[in-house]
Amino acid sequence: MLRPTRLPVAVRNPVSLIGIVVATTMAMLFVVLFVLEIRGYVTSPYIGLLVFVAIPAVFVVGLLLIPVGAWRAGRRRRLAPENEPDWPVLDFRNPHQRAAFAAVLLLTIVNLLIVSMAAYGGVRYMESSEFCGEVCHTTMEPQYAAHEGWPHARVPCAGCHVGPGAGALLESKLAGTRQLFQVATGRVAMPIPSPVDSLRPARETCEQCHWPEKFHGDKIRMFREYGGDDANTESVTTMQLHVGGGSRALGGGSGIHWHMNLDNQIEYVATEATRETIPYVRLTGRDGRVREYVVEGTTEAQVAGGTRRQMDCMDCHNRPAHTFYATPERAVDAAIAQGRIPRELALARREAVAAVGSEYGDRTAAFEGIARRLRDFYSGQAGTDARLVARAVAAAQDVWSRNVFPAMNVGWGTYPNHLGHIDAPGCFRCHDDEHKAADGSLIRQDCELCHKIQ
């Protein structure tokens, strides 16, 4: 029990007492929840918000109330005419004062520990993918849901979106506060536009983990497609991609990663935020020679009015983490190739594409619609194995939920992928045989420049 009479005179006033009660309660709550969180008993991202942001904030307010109350009470006493203003006398021979001093010292250390633990936990927590994806639920849902299934699933959002260093963290928190405000006032853009002009350059993000000069050589990729027939007939395109790499110092410097050869610098001008239209490209070669490639009919004003950018990893790998399939066909083909939609199920490709490609208002409607459509269709096909249908339904629902987000206006093809040229302009934004330099040379499009189809 808190007995006010045993407390020092200075804090025997209502404001300080409220402060003591608030700070003590919050400190106990913090310790209990912190232990539960560390032990993994509570995992909701909102608990993190409570433990590392809300409780410490109230705790600090409580702590501040104690001296504020003491100061106000002291001022009232000093203003009373019978009291001369004076400093209190500290006397360590007095056992009461010694005990009070030890208590204040101990409490200060405990408070500093709690505040620094909360600050450390808070920063770490705000760097986590859970914070980005789940606290900002609807807004970040597309990227959070898509992030899970790709090679960077273990790279937290902040690994690419914040970059190293305290400056980057502060900058991103300021931007985050602005964005939180936009979300709260319903003014967030839907879909969220590419943040590429505010992302830190690849040097400070991708290159923390990837070495740009690495020589990758050729990479074999198999593109699997399925037919709309009974047997879901498979066709495979095997492709040898000349990724290459290297640099002058290491020898080589060829292939697709020639762009990243630090001896070359490519600058370009894009006329919209998705960077799909590129009328102007400027190449500075290793000998310092500059070549400007321009699409016929481009005006000076268009070049001056566009966004200029130096090409880096993110101009080709713009969706390294949260990749969305461009079309229902692509997504369903991938699910069949991975064995999630059973190929043994007759007409699975055709039916799944139709089911996931339909328009639905929200997730519940989509899950019901996909299940109903597939079940209705196969109930009319005598001899169908119901377990195969159930697997197809679950996989089709999963495909839909990782690619379509009606609440954010994100659907098939909303976010183009620049790696390739079939579903979006990609490499052909520049390699279209139309970007011409003064000497007549073109940015080449010959089919064997980048890959060999076997």
Q: Going residue by residue from 198 to 237, which x/- string records binding to ligand HEC, judged by CB under 6 A?
A: -x--x--xx-xxx-x---x--x-x-x-------------x
Contact between 113 and 28 under an 8 Å Cβ cutoff? The reply is no
Q: What angle separates helix 348-357 from helix 386-403, to the nearest 10 degrees?
A: 40
Q: Which stretch binds ligand HEC (CB under 6 A): 79-87, 112-120, 255-263, 375-383?
A: 255-263
> Which position among 18, 196, 334, 390 is part of the footprint of ligand HEC (CB under 6 A)?
196
Strand pairing report for 290-295 and 280-284: antiparallel
How many chain residues are in contact with ligand HEC, going by CB under 6 A?
Answer: 74
Q: Peptide bond preceding 191: is omega within 30 degrees of 0, i.e. cis?
A: yes
> Which position among 132, 352, 353, 404 is part of the footprint of ligand HEC (CB under 6 A)?
132
Per DSSP, 291 falls in state E
> Which position among 52, 121, 322, 412 is part of the footprint of ligand HEC (CB under 6 A)?
322
What does the alpha-carbon distance between residue 451 and residue 219 come to, in Å, rounded to a whole number? 9
Q: Going residue by residue from 135 to 164, which x/- string records binding to ligand HEC, judged by CB under 6 A?
A: -----x--xx--x---xx--x-x-xxx---
Query: Side chain identity at 318, as an amino acid letter?
Result: N
Contact between 350 and 444 under an 8 Å Cβ cutoff? The reply is no
Strand pairing report for 451-453 and 234-247: antiparallel
> Using CB under 6 A, which residues numbered 411 to 450 contact ligand HEC?
415, 419-422, 426-427, 429-431, 443-445, 447, 449-450
Q: Shortest Cβ distance from residue 434 to ligand HEC (Å)?
A: 12
**With binding defined as CB under 6 A, does residue 33 bind ligand HEC?**
no
Q: Shortest Cβ distance from residue 360 to ligand HEC (Å)?
A: 21
Per DSSP, 389 falls in state H
Q: Shortest Cβ distance from residue 194 to ligand HEC (Å)?
A: 3
* Long-range contacts from 148-154, C-beta under 8 angstroms, 24+ separation: 148/402, 149/402, 150/320, 150/321, 150/322, 150/323, 151/320, 152/320, 152/321, 153/321
C-alpha closest to that of 371 among 412, 430, 102, 360: 360
What does the alpha-carbon distance between residue 279 and residue 310 come to, in Å, rounded to a whole number? 14
Q: Which stretch binds ligand HEC (CB under 6 A): 79-87, 115-123, 315-323, 361-369?
A: 315-323
> Which position among 162, 294, 313, 326 is part of the footprint of ligand HEC (CB under 6 A)?
313
> Which position among 27, 118, 162, 266 is part of the footprint of ligand HEC (CB under 6 A)?
266
Which of residues 41 and 150 has its CB atom nearest to ligand HEC in the complex?
A: 150
Which of residues 121 and 159 has its CB atom nearest to ligand HEC in the complex?
A: 159
> Using CB under 6 A, which residues numbered 360 to 419 contact ligand HEC?
415, 419
* Long-range contacts from 357-361, C-beta under 8 angstroms, 24+ separation: 357/328, 357/412, 360/400, 360/404, 360/406, 361/406
Which of residues 126 and 132 has its CB atom nearest to ligand HEC in the complex?
A: 132
> Which position among 258, 280, 367, 400 is part of the footprint of ligand HEC (CB under 6 A)?
258
